[in-house]
Amino acid sequence: MGTPPPDRRSAARTALSVGGRTVVGMSSTAQFVEWTVVGSDIGPLFLAATGQGLVNVVFHADEPVRDRAVRALATRFGTEPAPAVPGRPGPLEEPIRQVEAYFDGTLRAFALPLDWSLSSGFNRQVLRELAAGVPYGTVVGYGDLAHRVGQPGAAQAVGAAMGSNPLPVVVPCHRVVESHGGLGGFGGGLETKRQLLALEGVLPQPLF
């Protein structure tokens, strides 16, 4: 008998610090993809993971948004993503637990394996710096983040990187704001950004 093929879920991992904790970044070789939708204070969130880690978070995940996200992942990974089975251990078990804990206020730093397959180049560099260096309850300017990655003057490119973020909430692009105090843009909508910053105590909670 020949040697069995390697389990793609056990591919090599690289360390990444998120919120002061060491977590795991991944190679882009994984083919297994699992997805689910979880409720949150900002509406339904689509979560997807490969055998390498959490790979995608999508806001406002009603049925059409969910279906588009599943199709995009199928195209990217060359396999049909499978819905997570409730109660069965899998790669989304811990992301679901941590996302729920974040929204109920008991978790301030995500510690998850991350698959960076959906980001590359400058965008990935900026997002990794954001994940590692801008903790819960703080904000950073677009220009400041550009300086941190050694690209002063690249504030616009940092904005584009935030817009490309495949892992919002976990990689906290909501913490990136304009230097003069404006919220800046946000792929999930400015009201969602306000809600996340209010949750973290950066902005006051709305009165109503």
CB contact at 8 A, 179 and 143: yes
CB of 81 closer than 8 Å to CB of 67: no
- CB 117 within 8 Å of CB 33: no
Q: Of 173, 176, 197, 199, which is the active-site residue?
A: 173
Q: What angle do CA 117, 15, 32 make, to 5 degrees?
A: 35
Question: What are φ and ψ of residue 42, in 5° steps?
Answer: -110, 20
| Known active-site residue 173 | yes
Distance CA 175, CA 140 (A): 6
Give catalytic residues, as residue numbers.
Answer: 173
